[in-house]
Chains A and B, each alone.
Chain A
Amino acid sequence: DAGITQSPRHKVTETGTPVTLRCHQTENHRYMYWYRQDPGHGLRLIHYSYGVKDTDKGEVSDGYSVSRSKTEDFLLTLESATSSQTSVYFCASSLGTSGQETQYFGPGTRLLVL
């Protein structure tokens, strides 16, 4: 399994507070991704990165920002958490050399916004 970790694994926060989730990979993968998974929707892409300081929006990026200052770290920030952002968040990475490669996922972060 690829070495991808996420922290924290669980978090409870209140509406209006900022939250930062961290993803760390040890595979030297170029691409990193943040998804959220909700019942009935499957995995939806929030943001992704194709290199240090290179990021782009995904399908559900409103209310989220990301940063990638090092190859191994990809941070997801909820500037002002809302109850609709209660979800399971997965980070993933891929090598980034072709379109035939696979993604490897972290264990997920369960976020509850009260």
Chain B
Amino acid sequence: RKEVEQDPGPFNVPEGATVAFNCTYSNSASQSFFWYRQDCRKEPKLLMSVYSSGNEDGRFTAQLNRASQYISLLIRDSKLSDSATYLCVVNRATGNQFYFGTGTSLTVIP
């Protein structure tokens, strides 16, 4: 079983829509959680960390459910510039290794 699993999509949504991505992780010892964004042919960049209490950054909201071992990302009022691949990332802390999902592709349509 993969460490981190995501629905690859693609998600095609109109501007202004709300879209949600989910991600599950297999190792209950996982300590920290992140969403990264990757544009075509570019490197991944941190979008936001995910905390147990949930956290929000502008139009983006991340939630963590440790009991069910899943992480979510909600994007409200989608912009064309949100088109990218969103990577779910989990860190076990032991060895400071990061595990990446395969990514969810989002295209925001005018």
Contact = CB atoms under 8 A, between A and B. Distances in A.
Partners in one complex: yes
The 9 closest A-B pairs by CB, nearest first: A99-B93, A42-B102, A105-B43, A43-B100, A99-B31, A100-B32, A102-B46, A42-B100, A99-B32
Interface in A66-113: 90, 92, 94, 96, 98-108
Contacts, number: 59
A102 B34 contact: yes
25 contacts: A1-B45, A40-B102, A42-B102, A43-B87, A45-B98, A48-B95, A48-B97, A50-B95, A90-B44, A94-B96, A96-B96, A99-B31, A99-B32, A99-B91, A99-B92, A99-B93, A99-B96, A100-B49, A100-B91, A102-B49, A103-B46, A103-B98, A104-B46, A106-B43, A108-B43
Interface size class of A (residues with CB under 8 A): 20 to 34
A45 B97 contact: yes
Interface of B: 31-32, 34, 41-46, 49, 87, 89, 91-98, 100-103
B103 to A, nearest CB: 6
B23 to A, nearest CB: 12
A27 interface: no
Interface of A: 1, 31, 33, 35, 40-45, 48, 50, 56, 58, 90, 92, 94, 96, 98-108
Give the dominant DSSP class at B's interface.
Answer: mixed
Contacts of A102: 34, 46, 49
Nearest to A108: B43
Given A42-B103, A100-B31, A102-B49, A107 B98 contact: no
* Most chain A CB neighbours (cut-off 10 Å) among B34, B41, B89, B102: B102
Contact of A31 (B49, B87, B96): B96
Nearest to A110: B41
Contacts of B46: 102-104
